[in-house]
Structure 1
């Protein structure tokens, strides 16, 4: 029994890391929507990153992991500035103008750009099933977006901000991938988060002014964003990214919109229409297509 668990553990851990990341990031869209009513975009980003930095710093001390190697520092800098800071501020701002489900769908067009950037800059392959899965999931994202914006309440500025967040997300992942060849997932995540928090320090005054005025629920959502979707989920993401191609891993986040629709239905009272559910099913189907490996390819790999 022990030997079987040992043989299965690397794949099981990777799959578990991906699943945890997907559900944690999906919950972040709902929490941002809730906390954003009391906190401005920059203040919310700073509070989230400071909370995550405290958790990650404690883990660094417990595991006695020091400074990242020199080869990882450029990736950490780019990832921290573009992904942790830029993405977080843009998404927080965008979610003040569009609902959580639409925001998640717009952001999750990022894996398409991610796969293209990874192919161009990292030399990763673009297998046919990955391209087909992206196409199916993108159609699903469009279907859900149409169903949720049919009422005319979607702000064009919110759409642009969410698309900018998608670009920052894709760029940050591609920059982070080479850094994982030099440092551990915890190191890369912790120092990227610290870099992002430092870049958000100009919002410290707004955060200090808004904390006393914010309701307890908004502050709890801010703390949750720092601990679970940032500190823990970025570690599990980095763990999986070190063991999977960036393009293929990015395709799994197409499952996020389907989860966001269900969570926003349960916690925000946003009841999805049948067209929304159809789009969510297409998003999940695209993930399955992207991750499918033909039997012949599996035998050759074995």
Structure 2
């Protein structure tokens, strides 16, 4: 028997998996504290630019400057994916969390794997009936949370922004598996974070965001540092390592554990209220995503690391050279959350 079993997996699996569960789930709470005294787009731009520089330095020290060399065409597509994932996706989460609870935001973002199945269907890739059933269940929960705004835990504006963010993240995840990208996932992440961060800074300054350092609280600084180091670097590297050392069905469970972690942390540390509507709608979404993930990943026995920054999982996986793709079920991270 050649497949991995629980007793033959590297011990680090049981360290890396909780890191991905907790850290990525906690990024919504981190964003909540950052945007209390820092403008959302500017702070997110600072986060990703710094994370890109730190990751680039680590890669150069480990592998030499050649590791960052990427053909112009792939550099352009990587930048596009970075803007969709991190500017339109992650950056908008910060804007939305000014108008809603972090737990509700996480639950609505959990719909990303469902959107990826819809996009697959639109390109002629017909998923199995059980996957379609999971999508219908998940969208039922999404509709419940959207129409009720989580029982009053968010404004219509916040709900609209977070849904647009989830859609942007889904498009970026979908395209990243179908466009020429750097072969090294860490190199791709450097350029995705750099492009997304620069675009966020440009949008922040363009919309008149004013970062007054004297008014930024200590809590916001700590939360921003946490997002840079743990959300964008530690959890991401743990995720990529897991993809090469653990069954994909096990790794994919983060897609429906993260929202639960986000809700619990929001209640425990941000004084948020887990209304019955949030609990019910969130449970329905998580059940739908769980059905999609378990159904789609069941037959697979090997994986390669996706590129980008911790996002919800891809609709397809790139080959080692990044120029072609083979079918893969949805749900990355959030690459970087």
Q: TM-score range by the shorter chain?
A: 0.7 to 0.9
- For residue 17 of structure 1, report the CA deviation from its aligned partner: 6.5
254 and 125 in structure 1: CA distance in 2 versus 1, 3 angstrom threshold = farther
- The residue number in structure 1 matching 2:167 is 167
Give the TM-score, by structure 1 length.
0.77
Aligned residue for 2:225? 223
Partner Cα distance (1:252, 1:117) in 2: 21
Residue 225 to residue 4, structure 1, CA distance change in 2 (3 Å): closer
Change (3 A) 1:72 1:164: same
User: Any conservation in 2 of the 1:114–1:250 contact (CA below 8 Å)?
Assistant: no
In structure 1, C-alpha distance between the alignment counterparts of 2:89 and 2:79, rounded to whole Å: 14
Shift of 1:271: 3.3
C-alpha offsets along residues 119-138 of structure 1, whole Å, 9 cap, x if unaligned? 445x6551222222233333
Query: Partner of 1:98: helix, strand, or coil?
Result: coil
CA distance in 2, matches of 1:211, 1:96: 19
Q: Is there any run of 5+ residues in structure 2 with no aligned partner, and where?
A: 303-337
Deviation at 1:221, TM superposition (A): 0.5
- The range that moved more, 37-46 or 195-204, is 195-204
Q: Check if 1:150 corresponds to 2:151.
A: yes
Whole-angstrom CA distance in 2 between matches of 1:242 and 1:168: 27
CA root-mean-square deviation: 4.0
Q: CA deviation at 1:258?
A: 2.0
> Structure 1: where are the runs of 5+ without partners?
none
CA distance in 2, matches of 1:77, 1:225: 21
The match for 1:47 is 46
What does the per-residue CA deviation read over 1:58-99, in whole Å, with 9 as the maximum and x for residues that have no partner?
221233123235563343121112112222332111110111
Secondary structure of the corresponding residue to residue 45 of structure 1: helix
Deviations, residues 146-198 of structure 1 (Å, cap 9, x unaligned):
676334x6322212211110111101111222458751221111111111122
Per the alignment, residue 320 of structure 2 pairs with: none
Match of 1:272 among 271, 274, 278: 274
1:23 alignment partner in structure 2: 22
For these two proteins, the number of residue pairs brought into alignment is 291
Structure 1 residues 140, 237: CA separation in 2 closer, same or farther (over 3 Å shift)?
farther
2:138 maps to 137
The residue number in structure 1 matching 2:290 is 288
Residues 3-23 of structure 1 deviation map (CA, whole Å, 9 limit, x = unaligned): 97899559x96x987764453
Q: Identify the structure with the greater helix proportion.
A: 1
Partner of 2:196: 196
The whole-number CA distance in structure 2 between the counterparts of 1:156 and 1:287 is 24
Contact kept? 2:110, 2:286, Cα under 8 Å: no
